[in-house]
Homo-oligomer: A and B are copies of this chain.
Amino acid sequence: MAETAVAENGSGGDANVVRVDLGTRGYDIRIGRGLLASAGAEIAAVLPGARLAVVADETVARLHLKAFSQSLTAAGLDHRAITVPAGESTKCFREFERLCDEILAARLERGDAVVALGGGVVGDLTGFAASAVRRGMAFIQVPTTLLAQVDSSVGGKTGINSRHGKNLIGAFHQPVLVLADTAVLDTLAPRDFRSGYAEVAKYGLLGDAEFFAWLEDNWQAVFAGGPERDEAVARSCQAKAEVVAADELESGRRALLNLGHTFGHALEAAVSYETERLVHGEGVAIGMMLAHEFSERLGLTGEDTVLRVRRHLTDVGLPVRVRDIPGQLPPAETFLDIIAQDKKVSRGALTFILTRGIGEAFVEKGVDPALVADFLKEKLEA
């Protein structure tokens, strides 16, 4: 479905290109160091003459907006910057309304585009606004975190949070182009880089044992920023692109991408999304551990699988146990309630991503809630 190719880009550097094959909604993900400097040329090649609204949070605007804007101007692209507050609380109805209004105030027409320059929060909010303004504006993702580059900017899921839970309001709205500049990741805090790395490891664990083994050997170079980083981002995007192309609207196989996320989301909710205690990728890391341990408990895989996953996540500095989360946690019953309200529930039965070994995850519908309750109780008391 998706293929990785090495192509020359306008700035003379090599860029990895991953194609997301969705027919008329298909698009390229371009990955490379320093891509921000040639972003204008890349965008002009896809949408010649388009006017752009560029959305960034205050932090990213301070770090990267000037360079990005210069690149747009150099390519002759008229644009207006719109700034939103930094942080998860920006994914709310009020900011959604404000952003839609600002995009309309910029008088963009059909054929123009909305650009998300930032991490997952800005990408999700901006993508939803782009889907809704005039019932759908062209949308470009310029992800500036590792998490956004390998996960949230690929696949078209957009949305905001409701008081009933995260990402419960949104749209499937595919971008027309994704530009991932891996040099931008040098400005990330180590904890944020690690958090994104949990999703990179996930792609190995869910379906590519060879990639997981490669990560075991090369993770230090990925963190340091060598060509291995570009390769890790490209292989992650390729893995996600294949799943998305096979199941755009998440009716089946795409659920595999939720490996570690059902437990992970419950942990995030249990700490009220206090990022001092737990960031998303840390929840995913612990969640992936729990998914492997639960699979072992069900006799689906052996202890060696669990040990290997734990060793790698520990090596890179990610948490692997519920008790690695600082502070008090609610009882197991609360976790089950949270999981039941999670949107990956179908007609009251619990759906989990389980595994038969490294790279062999599968979707299991109808998991017995009592088994999950016993397992969680034990883990919370461990």
Contact = CB atoms under 8 A, between A and B. Distances in A.
Nearest to A167: B135
Given A101-B162, A135-B157, A109 B347 contact: yes
Interface string A27-48: 0000000000000000000000
Given A133-B169, A172-B135, A97 B93 contact: yes
A186 B323 CA distance: 66
A207 interface: no
Contact of A168 (B104, B170, B348): B104
Interface of A is mostly: mixed
A346 interface: yes
A171 interface: yes
A134 interface: yes
Nearest to A110: B346
A343 B137 CA distance: 11
A164 B104 contact: yes
A222 interface: no
A175 interface: no
A373 interface: no
Contacts of A131: 171
Q: How large is the interface on A (under 10, 10 to 19, 20 to 34, 35 or more residues)?
A: 35 or more
Contact of A132 (B104, B134, B135, B170): B170
A93 B128 CA distance: 14
Given A93-B93, A346-B109, A100 B169 contact: yes
A334 interface: no
Contact of A135 (B101, B171, B346): B171
Contacts of A169: 100, 132-133
Contact of A172 (B104, B136, B249, B346): B136
A111 B110 CA distance: 33
A117 to B, nearest CB: 22
Contact of A345 (B109, B163, B341): B109
Nearest to A160: B132
Contact of A134 (B101, B110, B168): B168
Given A110-B346, A131-B171, A163 B101 contact: yes
A196 interface: no
Given A100-B162, A109-B345, A132-B171, 5 more contacts: A101-B162, A104-B168, A111-B346, A133-B168, A133-B169
